[in-house]
């Protein structure tokens, strides 16, 4: 076992940092579903350095959160240094560096997946973080070639030599975003090359079947969940404790809990606008009447949500309501 085993023990299920989603309200819902290891949303180094945007809300930690990691994205060492100084004022379990985000607005700045392809620059930036951060430092990256493990191994070697205490590997190249086959053999190559640290497998896990496959094919006991948990916080418990999918009553309770937590965080007007996409995810793939998803796009008040929830029995299957992958 590595010296990080208390942080990421064998069989750990880790909630990915999802930009626009994994705020305190989202994490509290995930934790009710069985999540222990969670991240804030990805935080931009420039925004943090210049105190732009809603950094304080993004970084807000609940008193009950015994593990909370933060993820930083950026490509300028000076801005990363200033961002680390801001983060050092707070309390996190670790600081992760993003080298895998494929979103155009991030890539255009040379950060995320674009930085991951620029290996020398990526290592320079990561060394800056290790030097300036008071936290344990890790990195999350995408594979650089879906056939040849060598480029990905070169990047990982530089990160480990620079002080990375864990690596999360998304098994798709940036050009594939979040779809397509996951190159398990590349993740496996990283796992075998760096046995001294935890290597976390990431990509395409949305069911017990896909979870078992990624563990078997990569050799990784630690797995990060991302899109598979959107609207499905119960997935943590289903994978780790063989819990059953929620009943309709449990599903309604969770949706309302999640939205009321958002209202406490943002106020009703702002929260309900943001909650539309959240409720849409909860509805998707569970056998509800199609019109309810359209209704979710117009939610403006908590009363609107209660009205929607009162009618979700229409079209729902009996018993538990397993999320169907569509």
Q: How confident is the model at residue 134 (pLDDT cuts 50, 70, 90)?
A: very high
- Average pLDDT on 116-120 reads 95
User: Quick one: tokens of 175?
Assistant: 């050009």
Distance (Å, whole) CA 96 – CA 128 = 13
- Average pLDDT on 62-83 reads 95
322 pLDDT above the threshold of 80: no
- Average pLDDT on 59-74 reads 95
Distance (Å, whole) CA 60 – CA 63 = 10
Q: How confident is the model at residue 174 (pLDDT cuts 50, 70, 90)?
A: confident
What pLDDT does 326 receive?
43
What pLDDT does 51 receive?
80
| Beta bridge pairs of residue 138 | 96
What pLDDT does 4 receive?
46
What pLDDT does 77 receive?
95
What pLDDT does 193 receive?
98
- Average pLDDT on 296-317 reads 85
Q: How confident is the model at residue 60 (pLDDT cuts 50, 70, 90)?
A: very high
**Considering the chain, what percentage of its residues have pLDDT values greater than 70?**
94
Distance (Å, whole) CA 139 – CA 98 = 6
Catalytic residue among 35, 84, 101, 128: 101
52 pLDDT above the threshold of 90: no
Distance (Å, whole) CA 87 – CA 105 = 23
What pLDDT does 321 receive?
62
Lowest pLDDT segment from 25-34, 46-55, 151-160 = 46-55
What pLDDT does 320 receive?
57
Query: DSSP strand E in 190-309: where?
Result: 199-202, 222-225
* 3-class SS of residue 267: coil
According to CATH, the topology of domain 13-240 is: TIM Barrel (3.20.20)
Residue 155 contacts residue 189 (beta carbons within 8 Å): no
The better pLDDT of the pair 3, 200 is held by: 200
The pLDDT tens digits of the residues spanning 209-239 come to 999 999 999 999 999 999 999 999 999 999 9
Is 101 designated active site?
yes
The better pLDDT of the pair 181, 261 is held by: 261
Residue 172 contacts residue 205 (beta carbons within 8 Å): no
User: Quick one: tokens of 302?
Assistant: 């908590």
Q: How confident is the model at residue 1 (pLDDT cuts 50, 70, 90)?
A: very low
Find, among 68, 85, 194, 166, the residue nearest to 131 by Cα.
Answer: 85
What pLDDT does 317 receive?
47
Residue 46 contacts residue 76 (beta carbons within 8 Å): yes
Residue 269 contacts residue 240 (beta carbons within 8 Å): no
- Average pLDDT on 45-74 reads 89
Quote the mean pLDDT of the chain: 91
What pLDDT does 5 receive?
45
71 pLDDT above the threshold of 50: yes
177 pLDDT above the threshold of 80: no
- Average pLDDT on 120-146 reads 97
What pLDDT does 59 receive?
92
């Amino acid at each position: 076992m590595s010296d990080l085993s208390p942080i990421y023990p064998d069989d750990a299920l880790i909630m990915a940092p999802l930009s626009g989603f994994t705020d305190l309200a989202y994490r509290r819902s995930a934790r009710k579903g069985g999540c222990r290891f969670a991240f804030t949303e990805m935080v931009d180094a420039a925004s943090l350095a210049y105190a732009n945007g809603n950094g304080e809300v993004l970084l807000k930690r609940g008193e009950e959160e015994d593990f909370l990691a933060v993820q930083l994205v950026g490509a300028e060492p000076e801005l990363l240094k200033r961002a680390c100084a801001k983060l050092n004022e707070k309390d996190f379990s670790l600081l992760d560096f993003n080298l895998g985000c494929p979103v155009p607005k991030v890539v255009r700045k040379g950060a995320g997946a674009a930085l991951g392809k620029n290996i020398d620059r990526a290592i320079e930036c990561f060394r800056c973080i290790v030097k300036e951060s008071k936290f344990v430092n890790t990195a999350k990256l995408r594979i650089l070639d879906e056939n040849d493990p060598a480029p990905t191994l070169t990047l990982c070697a530089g990160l480990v030599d620079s002080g990375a205490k864990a690596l999360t590997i998304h098994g798709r190249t940036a050009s594939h975003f979040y779809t397509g086959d996951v190159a398990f053999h590349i993740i496996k190559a990283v796992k075998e090359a760096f046995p001294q640290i935890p290597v976390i497998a990431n990509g395409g896990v949305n069911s017990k079947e896909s979870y078992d496959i990624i563990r078997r094919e990569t050799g990784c006991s630690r797995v990060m969940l991302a899109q598979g948990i959107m609207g499905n916080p119960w997935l943590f418990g289903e994978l780790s404790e063989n819990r059953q999918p929620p009943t309709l009553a449990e599903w309604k309770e969770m949706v309302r809990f999640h939205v009321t937590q958002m209202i406490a965080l943002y106020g009703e007007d702002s929260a309900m606008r943001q909650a539309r996409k959240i409720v849409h995810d909860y509805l998707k793939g569970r056998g509800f009447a199609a019109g309810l998803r359209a209704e979710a796009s117009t939610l403006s008040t908590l009363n609107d949500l209660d009205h929607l929830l009162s009618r979700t029995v229409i079209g729902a299957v009996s018993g538990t309501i397993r999320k169907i992958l569509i």
